[in-house]
Amino acid sequence: MRSPEEDELAAAGTPFAEFAAVLRKRSLRWPIALRRLAQLRRDYPAAPLAAAIETAIHYGLYDLDRVERVILKNIAATYFQLPEDRDEG
């Protein structure tokens, strides 16, 4: 029987469904891992998240903390820009 998270991730497309299937096979605590992956999908923009998932699959990286760091690295320059002409004083 599939969990609601698995259904959600399967509907999201190839990288998510593939990653979820591997998490289920490799992780002893796969229900928690799938919930976390589904939450990452809700929290982060789709394109940087999909790129991070594809990179993780390519390198065999299934630690979601590390995957989240890759996502944040991908979106850091785009979404978290600081003004360069700030007054320092």
Q: Mean pLDDT per segment of 10 residues, for the chain of length 89 residues?
A: 83 90 88 93 91 93 93 82 64
Q: Mean pLDDT across the chain, nearest whole number?
A: 87
Tell me, yes or no, whether 35 lies in a domain.
yes
Per the structure, the complete domain to which residue 69 belongs is given by 4-78
Q: Whose CA is closest to 20, among 47, 69, 5? A: 5
Tell me, yes or no, whether 85 lies in a domain.
no
User: What domain count does the chain have?
Assistant: 1
Cβ neighbors of 49 (< 8 A, separation 6 or more) are 40, 41, 71
Rounded CA gap, 61 and 3, in Å?
23
Residues 7-24: tens digit of each pLDDT: 888 888 889 999 999 998
